[in-house]
Amino acid sequence: MRLIINQKYFALRDRFMITHENGQPAYAVEGKLFSIGKKFYIEEPCGREIFFVKQRLFRFLPKWDIIQNGDTVAVYKGKLSFLTKRAKIVSKSFGDITIKGSVLGWTFRFFDQSGNQIAEVSKKILKIRDTYALDIFDTRYADIIMTAVIIIDALYHRGR
């Protein structure tokens, strides 16, 4: 399954649609306008909330809570590494997912607990606005992988 993420060039808060390759809406992302730390909702196009994500502040390494129906179902944890971007999603619901990124943070690969690659995301380079192509090889992980990609964008590709 391939998803395309096209963010708006300028907006007061993050609000954009994530589409399938054919242009059909797959997810909607909406950030909170006034908050301490980044917070956003990931929803189905019909408006049903999938996850609420909030950044934990005052950490040496990035840490984000992924919340579903008021319960924390996963935690995104940045890892200390030299020259590459690394992270892990710790979850009892989805299993642990390892994330390995390139030096510049333009390509990230996602691996399940067994070491099998389950997804890959690449940032399109010669674009005015942030554009990503996300290939998900195991659709059971689609929601959590999409959430991780939005967190990665907030960490490495945001000037605002």
Encode pLDDT of 113-122 as tens digits.
999 999 999 9
CATH of the domain at 151: 2.40.160.200
| Alpha carbon 114 to its chain's center | 21
Decide: pTM greater than 0.85: yes
User: What is the token pair recorded at 84?
Assistant: 């590459």
Q: How far is CA 82 from CA 117, 155, 158, in A?
A: 22, 17, 21
pLDDT of residue 127: 61
CA distance 146 to 118: 12
Number of domains in the chain: 1
Please check the confidence at residue 20 and state whether its pLDDT lies above 80. Answer: yes
Give the sign of the dihedral formed by CA 89, CA 52, CA 39, CA 155: positive
User: Where in the sequence is the domain holding 89, given as residue range(s)?
Assistant: 2-156
Q: How far is CA 4 from CA 27, 96, 125, in A?
A: 10, 24, 14
